[in-house]
Protein backbone atom coordinates (compact mmCIF):
# COMPACT_ATOMS: atom_id res chain seq x y z
CA UNK A 1 0.00 0.00 0.00
CA UNK A 2 2.69 2.47 1.04
CA UNK A 3 4.88 1.37 -1.85
CA UNK A 4 2.20 2.12 -4.45
CA UNK A 5 1.47 5.45 -2.76
CA UNK A 6 5.15 6.42 -2.95
CA UNK A 7 5.41 5.45 -6.62
CA UNK A 8 2.38 7.63 -7.38
CA UNK A 9 3.74 10.52 -5.33
CA UNK A 10 7.23 10.60 -6.85
CA UNK A 11 6.20 11.87 -10.32
CA UNK A 12 3.97 14.52 -8.74
CA UNK A 13 6.79 15.79 -6.51
CA UNK A 14 9.20 15.78 -9.47
CA UNK A 15 6.83 17.81 -11.62
CA UNK A 16 6.17 20.27 -8.80
CA UNK A 17 9.90 20.74 -8.22
CA UNK A 18 10.64 21.12 -11.91
CA UNK A 19 7.84 23.53 -12.77
CA UNK A 20 7.27 25.20 -9.41
CA UNK A 21 10.29 25.11 -7.14
CA UNK A 22 13.20 25.87 -9.43
CA UNK A 23 11.48 28.67 -11.42
CA UNK A 24 10.21 30.08 -8.12
CA UNK A 25 13.74 30.31 -6.75
CA UNK A 26 15.00 31.88 -9.98
CA UNK A 27 12.09 34.33 -10.08
CA UNK A 28 12.69 35.33 -6.47
CA UNK A 29 16.34 36.06 -7.24
CA UNK A 30 15.44 38.14 -10.29
CA UNK A 31 12.86 40.14 -8.32
CA UNK A 32 15.36 40.83 -5.53
CA UNK A 33 17.96 41.98 -8.07
CA UNK A 34 15.50 44.30 -9.82
CA UNK A 35 14.31 45.80 -6.52
CA UNK A 36 17.91 46.44 -5.49
CA UNK A 37 18.68 47.99 -8.87
CA UNK A 38 15.58 50.22 -8.72
CA UNK A 39 16.50 51.40 -5.24
CA UNK A 40 20.01 52.25 -6.43
CA UNK A 41 18.68 54.20 -9.44
CA UNK A 42 16.27 56.12 -7.18
CA UNK A 43 19.13 57.07 -4.86
CA UNK A 44 21.25 58.23 -7.79
CA UNK A 45 18.45 60.29 -9.32
CA UNK A 46 17.67 61.90 -5.96
CA UNK A 47 21.33 62.81 -5.50
CA UNK A 48 21.60 64.20 -9.03
CA UNK A 49 18.44 66.30 -8.64
CA UNK A 50 19.80 67.73 -5.37
CA UNK A 51 23.08 68.60 -7.07
CA UNK A 52 21.26 70.27 -9.96
CA UNK A 53 19.10 72.31 -7.57
CA UNK A 54 22.14 73.55 -5.66
CA UNK A 55 24.04 74.58 -8.79
CA UNK A 56 21.37 75.86 -11.18
CA UNK A 57 23.62 77.95 -13.44
CA UNK A 58 26.72 75.75 -13.28
CA UNK A 59 27.82 73.43 -16.04
CA UNK A 60 27.46 69.85 -14.75
CA UNK A 61 29.65 67.02 -16.04
CA UNK A 62 27.30 64.03 -15.92
CA UNK A 63 30.02 61.55 -16.92
CA UNK A 64 32.19 62.53 -13.94
CA UNK A 65 29.13 62.41 -11.70
CA UNK A 66 28.29 58.87 -12.86
CA UNK A 67 31.86 57.72 -12.19
CA UNK A 68 31.68 59.26 -8.72
CA UNK A 69 28.41 57.45 -7.98
CA UNK A 70 29.80 54.11 -9.15
CA UNK A 71 32.87 54.54 -6.93
CA UNK A 72 30.72 55.34 -3.92
CA UNK A 73 28.58 52.24 -4.56
CA UNK A 74 31.60 49.95 -4.56
CA UNK A 75 32.78 51.43 -1.26
CA UNK A 76 29.42 50.76 0.43
CA UNK A 77 29.99 47.00 0.57
CA UNK A 78 30.71 46.19 4.17
CA UNK A 79 32.05 43.15 5.96
CA UNK A 80 28.55 42.42 7.22
CA UNK A 81 27.23 42.27 3.65
CA UNK A 82 30.01 39.87 2.69
CA UNK A 83 29.22 37.63 5.65
CA UNK A 84 25.50 37.70 4.83
CA UNK A 85 26.29 36.53 1.29
CA UNK A 86 27.51 33.26 2.83
CA UNK A 87 24.15 32.87 4.56
CA UNK A 88 22.27 33.57 1.33
CA UNK A 89 24.32 31.11 -0.73
CA UNK A 90 24.21 28.49 2.01
CA UNK A 91 20.46 28.63 2.46
CA UNK A 92 19.75 28.54 -1.26
CA UNK A 93 22.19 25.72 -1.99
CA UNK A 94 21.00 23.67 0.99
CA UNK A 95 17.36 24.05 0.03
CA UNK A 96 17.90 23.08 -3.60
CA UNK A 97 20.22 20.24 -2.56
CA UNK A 98 17.66 18.90 -0.10
CA UNK A 99 14.89 18.91 -2.72
CA UNK A 100 17.08 17.20 -5.32
CA UNK A 101 18.28 14.66 -2.76
CA UNK A 102 14.74 13.83 -1.67
CA UNK A 103 13.64 13.50 -5.28
CA UNK A 104 16.56 11.16 -5.97
CA UNK A 105 15.80 9.01 -2.92
CA UNK A 106 12.09 8.66 -3.66
CA UNK A 107 12.52 8.25 -7.42
CA UNK A 108 15.57 5.99 -6.94
CA UNK A 109 17.65 8.09 -9.34
CA UNK A 110 21.29 7.71 -8.36
CA UNK A 111 22.47 10.81 -10.24
CA UNK A 112 19.93 13.00 -8.41
CA UNK A 113 21.06 11.58 -5.07
CA UNK A 114 24.69 12.41 -5.87
CA UNK A 115 23.92 15.93 -7.14
CA UNK A 116 21.57 16.62 -4.24
CA UNK A 117 24.13 15.41 -1.74
CA UNK A 118 26.82 17.62 -3.27
CA UNK A 119 24.57 20.68 -3.26
CA UNK A 120 23.50 20.01 0.31
CA UNK A 121 27.14 19.64 1.38
CA UNK A 122 28.10 22.90 -0.34
CA UNK A 123 25.16 24.64 1.32
CA UNK A 124 26.10 23.36 4.76
CA UNK A 125 29.70 24.50 4.15
CA UNK A 126 28.47 28.02 3.31
CA UNK A 127 26.31 28.05 6.45
CA UNK A 128 29.28 26.97 8.57
CA UNK A 129 31.36 29.72 6.93
CA UNK A 130 28.63 32.23 7.82
CA UNK A 131 28.53 31.31 11.51
CA UNK A 132 32.32 31.12 11.84
CA UNK A 133 32.94 34.43 10.06
CA UNK A 134 30.10 36.12 11.95
CA UNK A 135 31.77 35.27 15.25
CA UNK A 136 35.30 35.88 13.99
CA UNK A 137 34.54 39.29 12.44
CA UNK A 138 32.11 40.49 15.11
CA UNK A 139 34.30 43.38 16.30
CA UNK A 140 35.04 44.57 12.77
CA UNK A 141 31.34 44.50 11.84
CA UNK A 142 30.43 46.52 14.95
CA UNK A 143 33.19 49.03 14.14
CA UNK A 144 31.90 49.49 10.57
CA UNK A 145 28.33 49.93 11.84
CA UNK A 146 29.47 52.64 14.26
CA UNK A 147 31.34 54.44 11.46
CA UNK A 148 28.28 54.31 9.22
CA UNK A 149 26.07 55.62 12.01
CA UNK A 150 28.48 58.53 12.62
CA UNK A 151 28.50 59.46 8.92
CA UNK A 152 24.71 59.64 8.80
What pTM, to 2 d.p., does this model score?
Answer: 0.51
Least confident of 11-20, 106-115, 135-144: 11-20
Per residue in 57-97, pLDDT tens? 556 666 666 666 666 555 566 778 888 888 889 998 999 88
Q: What is the pLDDT of residue 44?
A: 76
Q: What is the pLDDT of residue 48?
A: 74
Count Cβ neighbours within 10 Å for each residue of 105-117 and write b for 16 or more, e otherwise. ebbebeebbebbb
Q: What is the pLDDT of residue 6?
A: 61
Amino acid sequence: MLDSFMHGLVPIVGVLLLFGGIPGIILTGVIMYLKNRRHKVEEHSKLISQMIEKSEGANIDFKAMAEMLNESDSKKKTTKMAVLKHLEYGALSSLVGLFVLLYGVFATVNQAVIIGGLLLTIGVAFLVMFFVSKNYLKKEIEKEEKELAEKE
